[in-house]
Amino acid sequence: MPKFFLTFCTCLMFALLLSCTSSGVQSSRFEIKEGNFYLDEQPIQLICGEMHYPRIPKEYWRDRMKRAKAMGINTVSAYVFWNYHERQPGVFDFKGQADIKRFIQIAQEEGLFVILRPGPYVCAEWDFGGYPWWLLKEEGMVYRSNDERFLQACQNYIQRLGEELSDLTVSNGGPILMVQVENEYGSYGADKVYLGKLRDMIKEAGFNVPLMTCDGAGQMEAGRVGGTLSTVNGAVGEDIFKSVDRFHPGGPYFVAEFYPAWFDVWGTPHSYRDYKKPAEQLEWMVKNNVSVSIYMFHGGTNFDYTNGANTAYGYAPQPTSYDYDAPLGEYGNMYPKYWAFREVLQQHLYKDEQLPEVPGPNPVIEIEELTLSESASLSAAFMETVEAEKPLCMEEINQDFGYIHYETILNEKTKGTLTIKDVRDYAVVLLNGKQIGSLDRRHRQSSMEIDVSEVPAKLEIIVENVGRVNYGADILNNRKGITEKVSINGTELLGWKCTSLPLYKAHVGSFNYQNDNIKGQPAFHRTTFMLDSIGDTFLDMSSWGKGAAWINGRSIGKFWNIGPQQTLYVPGPWLKKGQNELVIFAFEDTGARTVKGLKEPILDQLGIDKNKREKSTMDYSLKPVLESGDVVLKAEMTNEQGWQEFQFDSPVTMRHLALEVLSTNDGKPAGVCELDVIDKDGNVLTKDTWKVVYASSEVEDKGFAEYIIDGNLGTQWKAGANDQDPCVIVDLGEITSVSGIRLRHSYYEQSGRLKAFQLYGRPQFFLLKD
């Protein structure tokens, strides 16, 4: 297969021409024909690097472009984040850090082309996949669909984006070669009408260059739409040809997302991939005329609480750092992957030219230990408070990111279980000003014990939006705060004050700080410090627990001691020679009041996850009394993957459900990945108030019984090796009418998969005996 590309000098020539065309002197023609990409009749092989303007300090945009060019990249691939530009309906922002036009112009000035990816859905491990929060206020609106209300909002955004950027296409003298329609839609749906309308919106907005879609190989058919180029994500080697040839035989071949690394998740080790295999895969693509976009070339940072979350294996939010183990690290540092990729591109794509010299590192400084001796209470951030019978979620009080505060008064002494149904995503609970516990959605926690011994008592619940889901069906279920109700021992609490605390905004420095050291509750802590010189630095937050920080009024994101990220990146341009201000919000107070600025980040250090259960709480000496009259189902599972559904002969009223294992597929200890319950209307019940109240045995850490209801397809309940009668009992939290169940095997373990079983159901408790 012939190999075509623009040499470095040719790319530079085009860049010089394009830099002139902004004044109308010259335009170019980018075409797809004869199985290749052509720019003004010259074949071009695209070597793209994904970079995101909100994740890079504006002061460093040009620096990162220069480093991309020096590695051998000729095109920048860039998402456009709708919710970054339209934070309120109809109010658009394209200034400062949101000045994507300037980002693209800098790419052009540095001799780089651009592939624009405006979505409107982008995924990107970004809050709500790029959708603005205010869509969630529309009851019944279906996103990523042919819903007219949703499409009208998309139309307004795309039209406004066209006014901002359409004059930067190569046809108009700019650097934009192609524009993407939607993003990996084939992984979500197959609505060609919806895709067609988005395609037409982009054309009508003035983007007069070829359009494209991108999907995984198996989803390309569902995600493609007429009038666009189908590209593949994640494929390597010959699979690239096989995938693309189904839709446009002979090419052009474009891997729109090549993954040499991956993103991080709070509470799990830092993602790392050695450079050798990715470098080999990149070399194969370059030698075989495959255009490629490296996702990510440079990840950057989720400033302003913009990280997203996934729910495929349970709620899994991304941290502030989006380092991604990309070739170019979070602060513009070159990893070995950068040099390996540069060598591949120098040898094969630019063998007759010399790549630009790699820019030297930016200044990095240390900051000696600082003591934050001034404090302000959480109430200093209170602005408008809304009173309501039931708790309101963030969207109901017009809030996008941050935290929300709830308060009610308890007038009766009580002791028992406090339940916050469907809390999103992390709640700190205070009683009379003292923290009594926290609930973490990652661990499906919704209840805790409470003892109200003195009345009247003030109950406060502060909830953090840890990140809206950015991928999969759960984007439809993305409201934040307390989304249902609060109860004690089943009695709902009414009469609430709800206060919005977005806290990513710059007003935190204006609070009335005192020298009082506020302890044991959420509070703000402040200090000022002097610098003789400035440079990038990394605040070591490992002793601080959970919270957020601001430098000179600018949000540098959230910290959480569970890791893997333990430092917060402070860009040098955001510091000042002379006096600087640091504010830290301690959402959960550990007593730490000092911090240092390090010369290198800490991105792979896990801390103690205090909400994670480490030991079993079950009493295995007890046995349940299971009576034949309570049997509602006797059935067998096949040894196949996927959900297996079992319907009852007629709906059964129950609160407590017992699953008794009769046999497994190979006689080894029983294992069950997940249990769902189907109500009388055919809907799968939410599990937020469920509890596993009994297990005959469980394998600690790797097979807790609670894993059977944790919504995580990567975990399972595993019975002990000596358990002759494996059984688990689940309390559904309230009496309900049940029509059936769903069960699922583990992806990862073949042995001990459940085969024959019996299901028992009762409105009352099952008795346990010695």
Q: Per-residue pLDDT tens for 350-407?
A: 998 999 999 999 999 999 999 999 999 999 999 889 999 999 999 999 999 999 999 9
Type of residue at 722? N
Q: Mean pLDDT, the chain, as a whole number? A: 93
Residue 744 has pLDDT above 60, yes or no: yes
Reported as a single tens digit per residue, the pLDDT across 617-658 is 778 888 899 989 899 999 999 999 889 999 999 999 898 999
Closest CA to 454 of 475, 472, 432: 432
Exposure string over 115-128, b if 16+ CB within 10 A, otherwise e: bbbbbbbbbbbbbb
Which pair of structure tokens corresponds to residue 490? 């089943």
Spatial separation of the C-alpha atoms in residues 481 and 461, rounded to whole Å = 10
Spatial separation of the C-alpha atoms in residues 636 and 672, rounded to whole Å = 13
Q: Give the residue numbers annotated as catalytic, written as ranges.
A: 184, 257
Given a contact cutoff of 8 angstroms between Cβ atoms, the answer to whether 592 and 539 are in contact is: no
Task: Report the range of poorest mean pLDDT among 146-160, 218-232, 695-709.
Answer: 695-709
Helical packing angle, 148-165 and 100-109, nearest 10°: 40
Reported as a single tens digit per residue, the pLDDT across 477-532 is 999 999 999 999 989 999 999 999 999 765 888 999 999 889 999 999 999 999 99
| pLDDT, mean of residues 722-735 | 90
pTM for the whole structure: 0.87
Cα-based distances in Å from 433 to 317, 393, 403, 521: 29, 22, 17, 7
Spatial separation of the C-alpha atoms in residues 173 and 238, rounded to whole Å = 36
> Domains in the chain, start-ordered, CATH in brackets?
8-304+312-348 (3.20.20.80), 367-374+508-598 (2.60.120.260), 390-494 (2.60.120.260), 623-769 (2.60.120)
Residue 22 has pLDDT above 80, yes or no: no
Q: What are phi and psi of 53, to 5 degrees?
A: -55, -35
Q: Which residue has the higher pLDDT, 733 or 506?
A: 733
Spatial separation of the C-alpha atoms in residues 439 and 434, rounded to whole Å = 15
Given a contact cutoff of 8 angstroms between Cβ atoms, the answer to whether 372 and 467 are in contact is: no
Residue 599 has pLDDT above 90, yes or no: yes
Reported as a single tens digit per residue, the pLDDT across 288-298 is 999 999 999 99
Which pair of structure tokens corresponds to residue 516? 């009082």
